[in-house]
């Protein structure tokens, strides 16, 4: 689980996410796919990866008295999890809200609409698949 764009609450009154969080999260998937490809080649393996991404508000906090852990909750997190579990290997499964925020990245990703997909706990949702067009991206 990766969460990006959580702020300290100062921006939460005017915007849900910092401006570059959504594209950055999707570009992170390129790094994940590339890393897995290198591991597969090095060790002659055939592991695959699928990812799910959503955007929206979350509740975050620290749990525990002796052994602390940080966690996030909320409908946005649940939807991202459902995107992953309903995704396809080698693709990033996007909610329609996430797609609207990253569709300008068509030079980096090939996007395709999956249409209405039945998502557990959500009902029917229009979702999108994103597949990296590039194998490596330059370090920023």
**135 DSSP assignment:** S
Confirm whether 120 is a catalytic residue: yes
Instruction: Please determine, for residue 140, whether its predicted confidence score (pLDDT) is greater than 50.
Output: no
The pLDDT, as a whole number, for residue 10 is: 59
In a 10 Å sphere around its CB, with 0-12 CB exposed, 13-18 middle and 19+ buried, how is residue 116 labelled?
A: exposed
Instruction: Please determine, for residue 30, whether its predicted confidence score (pLDDT) is greater than 90.
Output: no
pLDDT tens for 33-84 read 889 999 999 999 999 999 999 998 888 889 999 999 989 999 999 999 999 9
Tell me the pLDDT of the chain averaged across its residues: 86
Residues 6 or more apart whose CB falls under 8 angstroms from that of 25 comprise 2, 4, 5, 53
Which of 11, 38, 103, 120 is flagged as catalytic?
Answer: 120
The pLDDT, as a whole number, for residue 64 is: 93
Beta bridge partners of 109: 132
In a 10 Å sphere around its CB, with 0-12 CB exposed, 13-18 middle and 19+ buried, how is residue 117 labelled?
A: middle
Beta strands in 8-133 (DSSP E): 51-53, 59-63, 69-73, 92-95, 109-119, 123-132
Q: Is the pTM of this model over 0.85?
A: no
């Amino acid at each position: 689980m990766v969460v990006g764009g959580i702020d300290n609450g100062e921006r939460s009154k005017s915007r849900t996410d910092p401006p570059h969080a959504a594209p950055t999260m999707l570009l992170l998937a390129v790094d994940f796919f590339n890393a897995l490809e290198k591991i597969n080649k090095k060790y002659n393996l055939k592991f695959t990866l699928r990812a799910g991404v959503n955007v929206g508000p979350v509740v975050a906090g620290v749990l525990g008295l002796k052994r602390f852990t940080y966690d996030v909750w909320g409908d946005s997190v649940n939807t991202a999890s459902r995107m992953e579990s309903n995704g396809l290997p080698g693709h990033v499964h996007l909610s329609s809200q996430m797609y609207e925020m990253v569709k300008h990245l068509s030079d980096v990703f090939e996007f395709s609409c999956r249409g209405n997909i039945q998502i557990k706990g959500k009902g029917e949702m229009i979702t999108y698949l994103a597949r990296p067009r590039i194998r490596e991206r330059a370090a920023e």
